[in-house]
């Protein structure tokens, strides 16, 4: 997916801006794999083979997306993925 196209997208739920995290790109600098995160509701939308998955929650399958997001854990910077949203890690130091 071209970055120019990604920059025109918004969250389908609250119309807020999306922040892009690129995982892999092709030789033309198109995003092949990565994710978009809503700056308001924190929903995560994966980009797979250049296609963003931006369906309503009721049509998404968490168990299919979870392994993909787990693979991208280092890009989440300690945050967790739950109920199609990312949130701060709830680790307790002891």
pLDDT, residue 14, reads: 92
What is the pTM for the complete model shown?
0.84
pLDDT, residue 89, reads: 57
Block mean pLDDT (10 aa), the chain, length 94? 89 94 94 94 93 90 87 87 75 45
3-state DSSP of the chain: CCHHHHCCCCCCCCCCCEEEEEEEECCCCCEEEEEEEECCCCEEEEEECCEECCCCHHHCCHHHHHHHHHHCHHHHCCCEEECCEEECCCCCCC
pLDDT, residue 26, reads: 95
């Amino acid at each position: 997916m071209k970055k120019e196209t990604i920059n025109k997208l918004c969250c389908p739920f609250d119309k807020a801006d999306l922040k892009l995290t690129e995982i892999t790109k092709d030789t033309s600098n198109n995003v092949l794999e990565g994710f978009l995160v809503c700056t308001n509701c924190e929903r995560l939308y994966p980009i797979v083979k250049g296609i963003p998955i931006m369906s309503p929650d009721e049509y998404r399958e968490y168990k299919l997306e979870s392994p993909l997001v787990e693979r991208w854990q280092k890009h989440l910077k300690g945050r967790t993925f739950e109920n199609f949203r990312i949130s701060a890690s709830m680790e307790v130091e002891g």
